[in-house]
Each structure stands twice: as structure tokens, then as C-alpha cells.
Amino acid sequence: MGVGTSTFVIRWVNFLTMLLSVVVVVFGIWMSTHHDGCRRSLTFPILCLGGVIFFVSIIGFLGALKNSSILLWIYLIMLCFILIGILVFTVLAFIVTNNGSGHSVDGLRYKEYQLKDYSSWFLNQLNNTHNWKELKICLVKSEDCNNLSKKYKTLKQYKSAKLTPIEAGCCRPPSDCGYPAVNASFYDLSFHPVSSNKDCKLYKNSRQVKCYNCDSCKAGVAQYMKTEWRVVAIFNVALFLVLSMIYFVGCCARRNASRSQSKT
């Protein structure tokens, strides 16, 4: 790759990523002013991500602008660590999300989930009292369960609905409990279930309780996290390929900068 081409590409790629980092930081600041505690918990990781992108980008930009071999070396080393981090996270994400799938139930268009089907990492995280307390607060605030009665006006609509994993696990008792549904948000708990499933006793019609303390709810969250992690992992594969190409161009720019400095 020519001297001018490689430095030109690195310069403009890092200029664009600097602009991206500013957008990320502004988004993080917006999150910090949001009144939702669940979203505020993401503020620090987002700000850190924006800061790292900006720091790496400005070094790469200045290295290409000044044709500095030293700055480009530093840029390539940091980019190498980022590539290794992405690769490790992606591999772990695929390993952690390898287990777990739903179980079909006769008469239902959606699946039910069992916590024991998921990886030990998910089990440790979701069975941790502190972690689940924080997650449960977010689930209650999300109003997903309370909105079911607004989405499905009749019992027939509710029974034919295709619920999400969280709605299926946290908003209703497991099917083997046998509680008759009165509507989308209320079950007849006077029925005595024959199932030994402990979730049957934990479910309440209360808006604040529902099945938020149930293993079925934790399993629904695990399935949701698994789906999200898989999307992130696939995105990381694409990001890894793009950064690898940028790393290759950066190596050419660094080599050309070294040659230019050795001639002067």
C-alpha cells in the first residue's frame, strides 16, 4: 500500500471514530441524567467506551497526520489489545450462550423456560441475591407485565398471544401450576396445583410480585440475555474483521512512516 494511501485511510478512519466517540460520550451523559436507575447503571461503561475510543482514535489520527512512527506504534499496540479483548469476549459469549432453550407447551404459541437449562455462569449471576434484587427492580419498573392487559383485551387474545421470554416467565405462573387465567394479568389462585414446582406458590397477582421471585422469571431473563449476547457476539465478529483490516492498514502506515523518517 502506498505511503499516502495508508496514512490517508488511517487519518480519516480515526477522525470519524473520534466523532463517534463524542456521540457515545454525549449519549452517556444523557443516560446519567435519565431518572430511570436501570438505565443510569449503564452510564459508566458507556462513558468509558467513549473515552477509550476517543483516546485511541486521537493517537492514530495524530500519528497519521504527523507521519509519526512512534505514535503509530502506540496506536497499533492499543488496537492489538482491543482486538484481543474483542476476540476473548466473543468466544466467551458464544460459550456462555451455548446452553438453554425453551420448552413447547400444548396450546401455547410461546415457549416456557427452565433455569437449569442454562450455563453455570447464568445460574451464578441470576441466583446471586444482590444481582437479582437489582434486576427485579428493573423488571417491575419496565411495566411489561402490567401492560399485558392493555395489549390483550380479551382472554382469547391473551391465550393466543406469542409472549416474550420475560413475559412468559415473569408475568404468569408456569403452565404446570394449572391456575386458570381470568384475564391477561389475573389468575384464579384458589385452584390447588398438583405440581411440585415451587414457582406455583411464589406467584401472586400483585403488580409488584407477579412471578418476579420465580425460577421461571430468571430463566426468561437468561433467555433474553442469551439472545442479546448472541447479537452482540455476531456484531463483534464483524467489528473484529473491520478492525483487523484497519490494523493492517495501520501497519503499512507505520512502516511507511519509519521509512520516511529514516530518509530524513
pLDDT digits (tens, 9 = 90+) for 189-213: 988 887 889 999 999 999 999 999 9
Q: How many of the other CB atoms lie within 10 Å of CB of 128?
A: 12
Where is average pLDDT lowest: 99-108, 124-133, 200-209, 222-231? 99-108
The predicted pLDDT at position 48 comes to: 82
What's the mean pLDDT when you consider all of the chain? 86
What is the b/e burial string over 66-95, where b = at least 16 CB atoms within 10 angstroms of the residue's CB? ebbbebbbbbbeebeebbeebeeebeebee
Name the band, by pLDDT with cuts 50, 70 and 90, for residue 188: very high
* Helix or strand run (H / E) with residue 213: none
The predicted pLDDT at position 193 comes to: 80
pTM flag (> 0.85): no
Decide which of 163 and 42 is more confident.
163
> Are 226 and 118 contacting, i.e. CB atoms less than 8 angstroms apart?
yes
**What average pLDDT does range 166-188 have in this prediction?**
92
Strand partners, 183: 186
DSSP assignment, residue 186? Answer: E
Is pLDDT above 70 for 23?
Answer: yes
Question: Which cell numbers hold the place of 179?
Answer: 391456575
Length of the chain: 264
Is pLDDT above 60 for 3?
Answer: no
Q: Which of 147, 137, 115 is nearest to 217 (CA)?
A: 115
